[in-house]
Amino acid sequence: MSAAPSPHDSARPKTTTAATTPDPALLRRVALSSLLGTIIEYYDFLLYGTMAALAFGPLFFPETNPTVGTIAAFGTLAAGYVARPVGGAVFGHFGDRLGRKTMLVLTMILMGAASFLIGVLPTYETIGLAAPILLVLLRVVQGIAIGGEWGGATLMVVEHADARRRGLWNGLMQMGSPIGFLLSTVAVTAISRLPRDQFMSWGWRVPFLFSALLLVIGLYVRLSISESPLFRQAVEAQRERKATGPARLPLAQVLRRPRALLLACAVGIGPFALTGLISIYMLTYATGIGYATADVMNGLIAASFAGLVTIPAFSALSDRVGRRAVVAGGAVGIVLCAFPMYALIDTKSPTALILGMLIGQSLQSAMYAPLGPLLSEMFGTEVRYTGASMGYQLAALIGSGFTPLVASGLLSGPGGLRSAPLSVLAICCALVSTLAVWRIAETRGKDLSAPEGA
């Protein structure tokens, strides 16, 4: 792996993809497999975030006051994000050494099993302190699984597609994020219509148990795809080099030149922070200033539908104008629109709430959509799973994992809920992404068969 070039390099990479034409039928199967896997992973992972706001405080932390209970519930949410870089490192290592497909099957099984076990987990009232401990452990397993899933799913698509349409195909895969969130939101919305006592006693478990069905469908499709052709080429190259010395550890190679990893992490902080504020913390904030839960859930559903359009659109746009321009445009948009977005939400009008969330979702998509091809193109094939996964998951940890905790801490003091600290938080994280993308040279069109990233 080599460090990311300086911004003074050419706007277009100096290398081009080898003239290979992917099998369209195979590429469609790979994209479908990655899409289904991403749907399942994000359904399970984001479902937890919603339940943390609605139910986990009283169910697993009943001896605390409501504010501290919410912070404790979001603390277990953060535990999952802390585990994501671990999953990225572990599955990235074996994905770079043994193959992408095998790791993707394992991550899907881990996530599905953890979510199902959360659905049958006894609460504090039944087993006492063991309940929150087990909840945190299962959340960590979820984090490890999703930490390995994204990198593998992204690389399977990127490494099968041709250079001209990597963004387009990756955008189709990344639609799994809003679809997964949409499914989790619809499931919670349906279950939350139960009487409060039924929802708290058994209703909250149903969406977690439903993940078992999604797991079966996803595994059926994922087992039918073939390994990445670029990975197979890298394996042959490694075999030829064994005579000259032992194979190098992917993580050691990435950390030996950390600049690319640091930039990959930094560029993702802005979109992930906005995810934490809109998709996770919004339920707590909006209901705290007077919105009904149903109004907020409607806004979340509208934002998810918007993501189905904006994510593939911005990802495909990055094939035409470059990854940097699309990410930077979204980040600058957040700097300009954070205060107006929360001003709309603070009107306490359900229509204005939805409008504000749609603005936030659109700008988040602009920053998020090109990350798959951008991070993949920053690393060579032999370390790509590790490098892209670690950069992405560290950004998720910093941007989304701690944002709800920071937001809860900022708004827990005297004076009630105020949106100004949330706007400042969003702007600061967007500025980090802006500075990072300025330091990354354009990667669109790079030759991914090269042994080193550029």
For the chain, list residues with pLDDT below 50: 1-19, 453-454
How high is the pLDDT of residue 116? 92
How high is the pLDDT of residue 413? 59
- Closest Cα partner for 297 from 287, 311, 288? 287
Whole-model pTM: value is 0.81
* Cα gap 229→23, rounded to integer Å: 11
How high is the pLDDT of residue 211? 85
* Cα gap 355→295, rounded to integer Å: 12
The CATH classification number of 24-236+249-439 equals: 1.20.1250.20
Q: Can you say whether the dihedral through the CA atoms of 448, 451, 453, 454 is positive or negative?
A: negative
335 exposure class (CB count in 10 Å sphere: 0-12, 13-18, 19+): middle
Q: Contact at 8 Å (CB) between 364 and 333?
A: no
DSSP count for the chain of H helices, then E strands: 21, 0
How high is the pLDDT of residue 240? 63
Residue given tokens 């669109």 in the structure block: 444
